[in-house]
Chains A and B, each alone.
Chain A
């Protein structure tokens, strides 16, 4: 199982770029890195997924260095509604016998 480590909390201001880093030293060859966002009393929502290098979609970017032992979720120009807990998930989620490890989550608070 790939154990992950994230900062417990982060504060930012509206309009700023936020980078949340996840450490996963024992990531396996077949593991993917996925980030989820969760609001109180709701289930997590998929943000972005990657295997290596950089992935970008309409809401975020994911940077993965060559050794894949960490990853950084980048949220451009955050707003108050981005206040949530962000989870880093590492695992062979495309495999039929998968083991998934959710990180402890990072509470992002966006201030006005």
Chain B
């Protein structure tokens, strides 16, 4: 069974640009969540999607957005990039119980997308 796939793995952008990152969850996983990891702040929750709906959001500005498609694949977008947005962006998927959307509790992470903003 393929794991969580994130693309691109590495990318370099300049300030003011925007970036879109993609995440393909494990087949059958319908919950997708995103995290930002930096040396100074550690792992921070960005948002979570289930059934194409964002159902929770972390404490990040509106420049950070995301969406989920009907096949559970997800994208996140960061607009007007700042130097401080340089980070490893991680996507995780998980199984849910039926239509309740309740997670089984185990997150499967991808290898991340390393974003460098110059």
Contacts and interface: CB of A to CB of B under 8 A. Distances in A.
Interface of A: 32, 34, 36, 41-46, 49, 87, 93-105
B48 interface: yes
Contacts of B112: 41-43
A4 B98 CA distance: 31
- Does more than half of chain A's interface fall in helix, strand or loop, or is it mixed? loop
A63 B62 CA distance: 39
Interface in B47-63: 48, 50, 55-56
A98 B43 contact: no
Interface of B: 4, 33, 35, 42-45, 48, 50, 55-56, 90, 92, 100-112, 114
14 contacts: A32-B105, A43-B109, A43-B110, A43-B111, A44-B43, A46-B106, A94-B105, A97-B56, A99-B56, A100-B45, A102-B43, A104-B42, A105-B42, A105-B43
Contacts, number: 62
A102 B50 CA distance: 21
B45 A99 contact: yes
Given A97-B55, A98-B48, 9 more contacts: A42-B111, A43-B111, A45-B109, A46-B107, A93-B107, A94-B102, A97-B56, A102-B45, A104-B42
A44 B90 CA distance: 9
A106 B102 CA distance: 29
Contacts of A42: 111-112
B105 A34 contact: yes
A46 B45 contact: no
A66 to B, nearest CB: 21
